[in-house]
Amino acid sequence: MRGLVLALACVAGPGAAQDFAEVGALFAERCVVCHSGADAPLGLRLDTLEGVLAGSENGPVVVAGDAASPLLQRLRGEAEPQMPLDGPPFLDPAEIAIVEAWVMAGMPDGDVALAPLPDRQRPAPGEPVRWADVEPIFLKACIKCHSDNSKLGAPPEGLRLDSLASVLQGGERLAVLPGNPEMSELWRRVVGLADPRMPFDGPPWLPEEDIRLIRDWIEQGAPDAEGVAAPIPVGAQVRLRGVLTGEAEIDGARFVIDGSTRVDDRPRIGDEAEMRGVVQPDGSVVAERFRDR
């Protein structure tokens, strides 16, 4: 392999071969936010030359001299989802040409030694959790579907998870109620309380540690990068489907039933129930509809 790489590099001629320096810098800027660490998507690490050459769990992503290498196809959008996954913007033609020239030249290393990035640090239980701590989870495990670059064509249920603002906005209904994980469909989906469990292409599900991190982040008010908690989304629509665990409580999520609530076929504790409600200024949820399922 090494011999082949060197041979091809020589064929391209000294000076003509694009070495890894520029390619590595490009990957560092646009790829390693996801493609690094133990949870790199499909096991593909792009933080070192060794990682690039090792490829993914599907095999090599660059093949010396092959313009149809999987990685190049992803950059050009010939294989979906297009990379970088958090685009647009994607790489411009000049940047793609740099990577292409390097692959065509047989992936010469150019004596560039990039140190592997360390694994993602997770705040310990009880420590503050900020957006920056949970963002990589969404980038690596969710936005291939929940973004405008979705491999499903459009983000399911209109839910985008590619920025803090989108996560807080939710889709057709609220996904995160700051301060209240039980009432947050997003936590319910990743922990498996609501069906279908997320990520949709799992198992594997998220590691326990990441599920805990998402829960703590929501419980602490879904703070931004500076630690400022999110505002209460007054008036947002919520839907809960699960097991009635109290008079007005589904899977531990409490809501308010009042004179305005339309109750059909009142569920009993232990029954499958559905509640549709609206978030109030104090963060509570008043049920508009409550029924047996």
Please state the closest distance from residue 14 (CB atom) to ligand HEC, in A: 26
Residues in CB range of 50: below 8 A, 6 or more apart: none
Per-residue tokens: 4 = 């082949």
Q: Is 146 in the site for ligand HEC (CB under 6 A)?
A: yes
Figure out which of the listed residues 8, 49, 83, 275 binds ligand HEC, where binding follows CB under 6 A. 83
Q: Is 41 in the site for ligand HEC (CB under 6 A)?
A: yes
Binding segment (CB under 6 A) for ligand HEC, from list 103-111, 153-161, 257-265, 273-281: 153-161
Q: Please count the CA atoms within 13 angstroms of the CA of 71 that sit on its side-chain side.
A: 32
Distance CA(225)–CA(211), nearest Å, equals 19
Please state the closest distance from residue 128 (CB atom) to ligand HEC, in A: 21
Binding segment (CB under 6 A) for ligand HEC, from list 30-38, 104-112, 223-231, 246-254: 30-38
Q: Is 175 in the site for ligand HEC (CB under 6 A)?
A: yes
Figure out which of the listed residues 8, 64, 71, 236 binds ligand HEC, where binding follows CB under 6 A. 71
How far CA 88 is from CA of 76, 160, 165, 202, in Å, comes to 12, 14, 17, 26
Other Cβ atoms less than 10 A from the Cβ of 280: the count is 13
How far CA 94 is from CA of 1, 70, 100, 143, 254, in Å, comes to 28, 18, 10, 26, 55
Figure out which of the listed residues 23, 35, 64, 251 binds ligand HEC, where binding follows CB under 6 A. 35
Distance CA(88)–CA(149), nearest Å, equals 8
Binding segment (CB under 6 A) for ligand HEC, from list 10-18, 23-31, 257-265, 268-276: 23-31
Q: Is 183 in the site for ligand HEC (CB under 6 A)?
A: no
Distance CA(253)–CA(198), nearest Å, equals 19
Residues making contact with ligand HEC (CB under 6 A): 27, 30-31, 33-35, 41-42, 44, 46, 56, 58, 61, 70-71, 74-75, 81, 83-86, 91, 139-146, 151, 156-157, 159, 161, 171-173, 175, 185-186, 189-190, 196, 198-201, 206
